[in-house]
Chains A and B, each alone.
Chain A
Amino acid sequence: AQRVTQPEKLLSVFKGAPVELKCNYSYSGSPELFWYVQYSRQRLQLLLRHISRESIKGFTADLNKGETSFHLKKPFAQEEDSAMYYCALRASGTYKYIFGTGTRLKVLA
């Protein structure tokens, strides 16, 4: 069965510190992996997808098929990064997203 695991419900870091939000998945095929972000009182929005291999707002994520992970990283956290982050998987050729339970990131001044 397809599953996405985000082991941390809450992650607090100080401004300027590195951030890593963990995401592990289980899927036997070739997945598409995404990170979605929800800022306070805003809608869920796409942050990045692994196939584009781009950096958005300083965040990067690398798909590690050996470890079945897609951790989200940023070298220097900013206060405006405080939000709820969801990792999501989509099986290739399908349209359904399978979401993790989310990690709330708090960046402290």
Chain B
Amino acid sequence: GAGVSQSPRYKVAKRGQDVALRCDPISGHVSLFWYQQALGQGPEFLTYFQNEAQLDKSGLPSDRFFAERPEGSVSTLKIQRTQQEDSAVYLCASSLAAGGNTEAFFGQGTRLTVV
């Protein structure tokens, strides 16, 4: 495919609204990552999937954040009851192998603005 695809590219949500962000990884990639990038900061790790298994969710900032990858391909990051501090670019990345030994390819991100 053309690379990691994320949708929507931009999302404006009212405070308290639920949002769902989608990531289509490169076909066949085993590993999938979500990162959060606040304005002026570097990306920060949120969660990691190996196929459909969520092996690490240590970076999720609160229980309002939930991610899934039910069939080991497309992943969705859901944020419930959005708050202004959730405003950021959410990046998805995938890599071919399990673990961290192969290059991670990033999507273009979803810019979430909570008003």
- Judged by a CB distance under 8 angstroms, whether A108 is at the interface is no
Contacts of A4 in B (CB 8 A): 42
Count of chain B residues with a beta carbon within 8 Å of a chain A beta carbon: 24
Given contacts A43-B108, A95-B48, contact A86 B100 (CB under 8 A): no
Count of chain A residues with a beta carbon within 8 Å of a chain B beta carbon: 21
Q: Which residues of B contact A (CB under 8 A)?
A: 3-4, 31, 33, 35, 40-45, 48, 56, 59, 91, 99-100, 103-109
Interface of B is mostly: loop
Residue contact A90 to B100, C-beta cutoff 8 Å:
yes
A46-B35 Cα distance, complex, nearest whole Å: 16
Residue contact A94 to B100, C-beta cutoff 8 Å:
yes
Chain A stretch 1-48: residues in CB contact (< 8 A) with chain B: 4, 9, 32, 42-46
Contacts of A42 in B (CB 8 A): 108
Q: Which residues of A contact B (CB under 8 A)?
A: 4, 9, 32, 42-46, 86, 88, 90, 93-102
Residue contact B99 to A95, C-beta cutoff 8 Å:
yes
Residue of B nearest to A44 (CB): B106
